[in-house]
Amino acid sequence: MMTSTNQQIQHYLTKNEDKARLLVSCPDKPGIVSSISTFLYEHGANIVESNQFTTDHEEGTFFLRIVFASENMKSKEETMKADFHALADQFEMTWRMTFLHELKRTAIFVSKELHCLRELLYEWESGDLVTDIPLVISNHESAREIVESFGIPFYYIPANKEIREEVEEKQLELLKEYNIDLIILARYMQILTPKFVDSHPSKIINIHHSFLPAFIGANPHKRAYKRGVKLIGATSHYVTDDLDEGPIIEQDVIRVDHRNSVNDLKKKGRLIERSVLNKAVKWALEDRVIVHKNKTIVL
């Protein structure tokens, strides 16, 4: 069973079928932008958006995101990818070229808390989250009703640390079957094994509260309340083998004060988690995020 694109997303795909994106990172040196511009010109493409950044203009790393357009892009994409290799080798580039007529495929993992899942599904339904969501995986049944109401297949796979490897084998099979590009942990309360993480490098996005590292472990809101914190927030990051220490994509905060109870902190925390995760996912889907060491460049 496959989810079909809604009308708004289909309109986006049709409108942008002759556009593509190029992401580049490489040692900074003269001639990079000029060479890429010449390459695109020679292939009949016009630059419609460009963002760049360098860590140091003499010995740093250069990052670039370009959106370009060309008539009959579908017929040119294989040639453009093949021809770009020579330029990439010349400048020692790490690069990715994506075409906007190809819809990225996203899997959502969730446990009992559904606020982040709801936000993503509503954004997808409205056409503001431009992706296909072929499945949702959960270790609880709580999300089944809402997921299936959107016409999305729901897979209930009970999980705990005793059977973690067996569970992940099933999950990896599903991700391969559905040809998934991006995995979102929308409050999925299970630790992933190194094998799972390594199979999808910089493709798994997580969300958690921003008390870390001050209130690590259980009941962070209760302990933060006792401490009298004035700011709470959320952090969205790529998952690595170092628990909750992967490259940060987006963060935000909201003010609290002595009038707020523990439940108030939780409600405000859920509100900011929804917003932060949604932004991080959109930026990843729009090819705006480049991982550099243990940080991200968001262009």
pLDDT per residue rounded down to tens, the chain (299 residues)? 445 567 889 889 999 999 999 999 999 999 999 999 999 999 999 999 999 999 998 889 999 999 999 999 999 999 999 999 999 999 999 999 999 999 999 999 999 999 999 999 999 999 999 999 999 999 999 999 999 999 999 999 999 888 999 999 999 999 999 999 999 999 999 999 999 999 999 999 999 988 767 887 788 889 999 999 999 999 999 999 988 889 999 999 999 999 999 999 999 999 999 999 999 999 999 999 999 999 999 99
Single-letter amino acid code for the residue at 219: N
Q: 187 CB contacts (<8 Å, ≥6 apart)?
A: 110, 111, 112, 113, 114, 115, 116, 117, 207, 273
Q: How many of the other CB atoms lie within 10 Å of CB of 85?
A: 11
| Confidence (pLDDT) at 4 | 55
Q: Can you point out the beta strands (E) in the chain?
A: 19-27, 46-54, 61-69, 94-99, 105-110, 132-138, 154-156, 182-185, 204-209, 231-238, 248-255, 289-292, 295-298
| Confidence (pLDDT) at 120 | 98
Are 70 and 145 spatial neighbours (Cβ–Cβ below 8 Å)?
no
Measured torsion, CA atoms of residues 53, 67, 299, 7, in degrees rounded to the nearest 10? 180
Taken in order 124, 125, 130, 131, the sign of the CA dihedral is: positive
Kindly name the residue from 18, 83, 241, 244 that is annotated as catalytic. 244
CA nearest 144: which of 175, 169, 112?
112
Distance (Å, rounded) from C-alpha 159 to C-alpha 161?
7
Q: How confident is the model over 3-41, as pLDDT tens digits?
A: 556 788 988 999 999 999 999 999 999 999 999 999 999
Measured torsion, CA atoms of residues 249, 287, 138, 295, in degrees rounded to the nearest 10? -30
pTM for this predicted structure: 0.94
244 is catalytic: yes
Please give the structure tokens belonging to residue 241.
């083998």
| Confidence (pLDDT) at 2 | 43
| Confidence (pLDDT) at 5 | 60
| Confidence (pLDDT) at 3 | 54
